[in-house]
Chains A and B, each alone.
Chain A
C-alpha cells in the first residue's frame, strides 16, 4: 500500500480511573490518503473522539504509532514542532464551547496567525478579514463576541480558525451534530468546497451514517475502542458485512421509502452498549450480536480483507475459523 498522509498503527489509548482502566482506543489502525475524507463513525464510548484527540495531540498515545507523511508524531501537542501544529488542525463538535466567550472573533482568528508568526499586525488583520470572507461572514464580525452569533455562524468561525494556518489535514469532530439540518447542509457544502480548493484531507468523526454516505470517500465503524469494519463508501452501504454495522444501519431513522430499502431489515437493535472500563472478552460486540456463537465469546476476531479495501473484523468472515453460528454458516454457503 502506498504511503498515506496519516497512518495510525495499532494505536492504544487507555485512561486510568478509579473504576479501572478505560480502554478508550484499543489497537486501532487505519491509513488516511491525501485528499480523501475518512469517516470515523461510532456511538458513545466507541473511542472515535479519543482517536481524533490522540492524533491531534491532546492526548499522548498509550501505545502504537501515528505517522504524518511518514514522520512519527506520537507526542502530545506541547512537544510537537510548530510546523506540525500548522499542518494538522481540528474543528470541535460544539462551537458554543470551542470559542472563548470572553474574546472577540477577531482575537480568536488572529491567535493561530500570531502563534505561527505570520505577518505583521496589519497583515494579520487583513488575513482575518479574508478568513471571515472565506466562510461568508460579514467583516464587522471582527468585533463581535461568540455569544452574539448563531450556532452555525460560530461553527464557521471555528472552521475559519482551523484554516487560518493553511493546514493539510483537518480533523472534523462532529462539526455539525450540534446544529440544525438546514445549517448543517450549508457547512458541509462549504467544507467540501474548501477540500477541493485547498486540497485538504479530512478525518471526519461522526455518529451520523447518513451524513457519511454523502461526504466520506471511505468509512470506518468503531465499537468499544476497535474498528469493526472499514470500506469505501459505496461498497460499505451496499454491502455492510459486520453485524454491528447492520444493526447501526437498520436503526437510522430516515425520511423516504427509498432509504428504507437500503437498511438491512432483519437486524433489530438490542442490548446496551457495555462500559469501556471492562469491555467484554472476545469480540467486543458479542453481547448484542444476534449471530454470536460460542467462539465469539473467546476469540478476538482479526481484521480480514474481504474485498479490495473492504476490511471487517468478525469471525464470520475469518477463514479457517469454525463459523460462529449456524446462521452465519448458511449465509456463507448461500
Chain B
C-alpha cells in the first residue's frame, strides 16, 4: 500500500489540514508565514535571484559606489559599489543559518534535560539540572556572547557557539514546567502501571505533549537569535567583512548616515522582516498543533 493511503498517514494528513484551517483563521500568522517563506526562498536561491550574485563577496567597482536606489540597483549600492539588494539576499542566508544552527544545537540537549528534571521533580536530578540552568539563565546572552567573541577570534562560528551556550536553559526551563505537570497526568501513570520503561515514558508519552510549545518557542527564538547574531556582527564580533551579513552591513552603513541612508536602512529592514515573520508565526503554530475535541 502506498504510504499516503495508509490510515495512519491519512489521520495525520487530516489533522494537518484541520490545523492549516485554524492557522489560516489568524491573518497575523499568515503574514508571518509569508515573510518567512519569502526570506527562506530568497536565501535558498540567492545566487539565482540576486541581480548581481558576484557582489556578495570581495567585489569592488568604485565607478558605481554609493549610488542611491535606482532601477538598476533598487536598494542602491554601498561604498565599494556593490548592489545592496543582492547582498541582502545573501545576508538572509547567514541570518537563517545562524538561527537554524543555534536552535539545532540548543533544542535537543535543552529538551532532554528539561524532560529529565521534570520527570524526576523533587529529586536530586531535578535540583542539579535546574540549579545549573538557573546559573546560565542569570547571565545575559548578548553579554556572554560579546565576552566569548572578544576573547576568541570574532567569527560567525564563535558567535553561534556563544549564543548556543546561553540558549539551552530556556528550553530546559520550558520543558521542565511542562513535563513536571504532564508526569502527573493519568496517562503517564497508566503507562507506569503497565510497566513501561523510563525512556518510553519520557520520549513517547511526555515529549509528544510538549512538542507544540517547543515549536512555538523555537519560532519566536529564531527571531531572537537572528537579532543577537546581527547585534554581534554590528559591533564587529560576529561575521567579518566582506561576508554579506545583515548586521555587518548595517554597521558599515551606519557610518554614512544620514546622507547615504540606503546603505544601512535596507539591511536593517531585512532584519526586521525576518524577525517579525518568525515572531508572527509563533501564535498560529500553537493552533496548528492543537487537538480538536469531537
Contacts and interface: CB of A to CB of B under 8 A. Distances in A.
Interface of A: 56-58, 77-78, 82, 85-86, 89-90, 92-94, 97-104, 111-112, 115-116, 140, 142-145, 147-150, 158, 161, 165
Contact of A90 (B11, B188, B193, B291): B193
B193 A147 contact: no
Contact of B209 (A57, A58, A100, A111): A100
A37 B190 CA distance: 22
B187 A100 contact: yes
Given A82-B195, A85-B194, A161-B194, 13 more contacts: A77-B192, A77-B195, A92-B190, A97-B185, A98-B186, A101-B291, A112-B194, A115-B195, A140-B7, A145-B15, A145-B291, A147-B291, A147-B293
A5 B180 CA distance: 35
Given A103-B204, A143-B8, A98 B190 contact: yes
A102 B293 CA distance: 13
12 contacts: A82-B195, A86-B195, A90-B193, A92-B189, A94-B186, A97-B185, A97-B187, A103-B204, A103-B208, A111-B200, A145-B15, A147-B293
Contact of B186 (A86, A92, A140): A92
Contacts, number: 80
A139 to B, nearest CB: 10
B196 interface: yes
Interface of B: 7-8, 10-11, 15, 185-197, 200, 204-205, 208-209, 211, 291-294
A58 B196 contact: no
Contacts of B186: 92-94, 97-98
Contacts of B192: 58, 77-78
B4 to A, nearest CB: 14
Contacts of A112: 194-195
Contacts of A86: 195
A144 B209 contact: no
The 9 closest A-B pairs by CB, nearest first: A102-B208, A98-B186, A143-B7, A100-B187, A112-B194, A85-B195, A92-B186, A115-B195, A147-B291
Nearest to B185: A97
Contacts of B293: 147
A285 to B, nearest CB: 30
B294 A58 contact: no
A116 B197 CA distance: 11
Contacts of B292: 147
Nearest to B291: A147
Contacts of A158: 190
Most interface-central of A90, A102, A143, A149 (chain B CB within 10 A) = A102
A151 to B, nearest CB: 10
A94 B189 CA distance: 13
A99 B190 CA distance: 8
A140 B6 CA distance: 12
Given A147-B292, A147-B294, A98 B193 contact: no
A115 B209 contact: no
B194 A144 contact: no
A98 B205 CA distance: 11
Contacts of A82: 195
B262 to A, nearest CB: 49
Most interface-central of B15, B194, B209 (chain A CB within 10 A) = B194
A85 B187 contact: no
A153 to B, nearest CB: 10
A137 to B, nearest CB: 15
Given A147-B294, A148-B294, A99 B191 contact: no
Contacts of B189: 58, 92, 98
Contact of B11 (A111, A116, A143, A161): A143
A100 B185 CA distance: 9
A114 to B, nearest CB: 8
